[in-house]
Every structure is written in structure tokens, then in C-alpha cells.
Amino acid sequence: MACSIAAVISAAGSSRRMGGLKKEYRTLGSNRTDADHKPLTVLGAAVLAFAASHRIQTVVISVPPHGETGELAARASLPQRLLQAAAKPRIYFVPGGKTRRISVHHALSWLSAFPGETPDFVLIHDGARPWVDRSLIERTIDAVILHKAVLPLLPLIETPKEIDGSGFVCRHLARARVGTAQTPQAFAYPEILRAHEQAAEQERASHKEYTDDAEVWGEFIGPVAVIPGSPENRKITFPEDLLTGAEGGTGV
């Protein structure tokens, strides 16, 4: 039986480490263009990769809740063919919150409230990862259908150490058992929505902040499976990250 699949793309942050310039709306350069030969933005490239999968019916993008970097700016940063009435997947915009977790929670809640858009599974992706490709997206979908919760993981090249509050090494970690988490992370939808509701309660009670959705799932639902990540699937954090991006076409 066919599964309904949605994607949530988180793009509501303030980009403080980019000098206040909204990183998701920056262009990737002349070598990264859409079908109309217009330069792709960071967010546009990410959304195009998900739109290339025919298994994804809906994309929900979390955007800053107000001001010129809200929905209008997000719309303007996307290839316009994605926003046409007959375009697939359907694309929606949801105001985010003050943290990434809250922004993702808003998007997940929107999916449950909007008639006909509640999926069986959801992929959650950072809008600042423009070099995600369709192959990784398809592998993530296959894995989440099998395991209910999955994330792409990159192995570490250098040996990690854990330090204590005084700045001394307190634990020598086994490199083979530690990796770097990427997105998209994918989950069974009803459970990840419930986990975010529980995480919101925990944050109110203890001021804890969750750094990614796998942590939310792991604390309130159970284990998260791992698939191989992609070295090209980097996240843009600083301005220089735009200068070291993958070469080539649209990445879809």
C-alpha cells in the first residue's frame, strides 16, 4: 500500500553567524541554476531536491514569523514553477518560532490541522543544506518506511574527545561508534508530532533545548536507525561556506 509522505524544511532562523544576511535566500552562484537558467538560492536548491521525488506529496517550509524575511521573501527565493497552482508537490509556508525545534513543531502541527495533508511519514530537513540530492532523499524514504525513524550519518575522520566543564578530556570516544548527523531525518508522522508535543512540555518545565529531531524522537519514542550520509550534504553556517559548495547543476 502506498504511503503518504511530506517534507518539512526548516528556514526560520535569523542567520546571525552570516552577519544578519538570511542565508537561505542567498544565491549559490552562476553554476547553480534552475530550469529557467536563473541562479538558485540556498533554499531553492533544497526545495528542488525534494520536489524531484515523486513520492513526496507536500512540502512545508517554516519561515521567520514576520518582517521582510517572512513568507514573501521565502516565495521570492524559490523557482517560480514550484509555486504554480498545478505544481507537485504542494508547497506551503508556516511561521516559525524562536528555536528550530519550535519551528519544526509548528510545521508538524500544521500538517495535522490542514485537511488532507496529514502524512504517514515526514522528512525534516535544514533549509541551509542546499546540496542534498535525490539519492539521499530516496534512501531516507526507504529506510523510514522500514524503521519508522532514521537519520543520515557521516563517519568521523578525526578522533573525538569529550571534555569536562574545566576544559580537560574526560572521555576518549571510539571513532567507529561516533558520527555527524545530517538531514533529512525522517519519522513516522504521528509519533514525531507526539514527541514534539512532549518536548515542548519538557522545555517549559526544565528550560532544556533540543538540537535535532532525532534527539526528540530518541527521548520520547525510541531508537533511531542510521543510513550513510553524504559528504556533499553540508550545512551553510558561515559566509565562506557558500564559497566551498559542491560544483555542478541543480543536485536533483
Looking at residue 176, which CATH number applies to its domain?
3.90.550.10
196, three cell numbers: 514534539
Burial label for 181, CB within 10 Å (0-12, 13-18, 19+), is middle
- On whether the CB atoms of residues 60 and 76 are closer than 8 A, the answer is no
166 lies in some domain? yes
192 lies in some domain? yes
Q: What is the pLDDT of residue 238?
A: 81
248 lies in some domain? no
pLDDT at 86 over 90: no
Measured between alpha carbons, how far is 42 from 59 in angstroms, rounded to an integer?
16
Summarize pLDDT for 32-62 with one digit per residue, the tens. Answer: 766 666 889 999 999 999 999 999 999 999 9
Domains in the chain: how many in total?
1
Measured between alpha carbons, how far is 88 from 113 in angstroms, rounded to an integer?
20
Q: What is the pLDDT of residue 247?
A: 45
Domain that holds residue 66: 5-240
249 lies in some domain? no
230 lies in some domain? yes
Strands 121-126 and 169-172, sheet pairing: unpaired
